[in-house]
Amino acid sequence: DKGDLVEFPRGLYSHWGVYIGDEEIVHLAGDGNDGINGQYNSGHLFTVCGKRFNKAMVKVDNFWDVTGNSKAKKNNEKDRKCKPLPKEEIVARALSKIGSIPYNVLWSNCEHFAAWCRNGENRSEQAESFLKAVVVGAAAVVVGGLAYATGSPTKEKKEKS
């Protein structure tokens, strides 16, 4: 239906867009064919499909062209936490951003864009999960480093023996 969010799972990440009817998707993508059929693999933190960008394009493409070889699924799960806007407003918001906009995989990616269009909230669960993993990993390194620096009881017993 018009205004639904569409998720295109592509392995390590998902591409997102807003369905506007007539088999068309508005989505945030890099230049060239990025976002269409996912031919690039993500290989760098600040990339769209493995290509580095400071800016990306909001554009309208055919649903089937964006789907390519991947699957697509309607995903309005964010509606559980944030009420969706009226369908006409979702479509209008998506179309209002057509053109070049700043891009950042953590703060302004295709999922942020789609969520903003539907719910008015700039959120990306992919980015949030990544950031949580980084924080947990960093905390583990710090705790491990502190334990090593202060010496573990096992290390002291071995040295006294």
Tokens of 47: 């990339």
Q: Does 110 participate in catalysis according to the annotation?
A: yes
Token pair for 133? 């993993």
Catalytic-residue membership of 15: yes
State the catalytic residue, choosing from 15, 27, 49, 112.
Answer: 15
- Phi, psi at 7, each rounded to 5°: -105, 135
CB atoms within 10 A of CB 143: 10
Residue 125 identity: E
Label residue 76 exposed, middle or buried (CB < 10 Å: 0-12, 13-18, 19+). middle
Contacts of 120 (CB under 8 A, 6+ apart): 82, 85
- The residue from 27, 49, 110, 112 that is catalytic is 110
Which residues are the active-site residues?
Answer: 15, 110
